[in-house]
Amino acid sequence: MPPGTNMTAAYGRFINSGADTIEIISFESDSFASVSLHQTMVQHGTSRMKELMHWSIEPGAAVLEPGGLHLMLMQPKREIVVGSTVELTLISTAGQGYHFLLKVEAH
């Protein structure tokens, strides 16, 4: 993240190897004050983001990618540099926490 930037995005591929859909209702990171799920949509020729309150991860793969679903990471609590890692936790309606370490990359 360039100095003075207060937000960035996270993308990735998530695998639900179970037989049931996982309902994610909360997103947390020790490196950011706020993490939220957004959907990019084009309305009347303009690209817009809409915050989503939950994420249904069906069995198989789910993808977060530019121009689609993605996580917004806002208000960094520390300097975020290329090559470092950021911890991310997804919390389900069942109270299960799914923990990930994301490698910071430049795009």
What pLDDT shows up at residue 47?
87
Query: CA–CA distance from 95 to each of 4, 19, 24, 56 (Å)?
Result: 35, 18, 9, 14
Query: What global pTM score does this model have?
Result: 0.88
Low-confidence ranges of the chain (pLDDT < 70): 2
Q: Give CA–CA dist 72/8, Å, rounded.
A: 6
Q: Which fold has domain 7-103?
A: Immunoglobulin-like (2.60.40)
Q: Half-sphere exposure (CA, 13 Å, Cβ side) for 4?
A: 0
90-101 confidence digits (pLDDT tens): 999 999 999 999
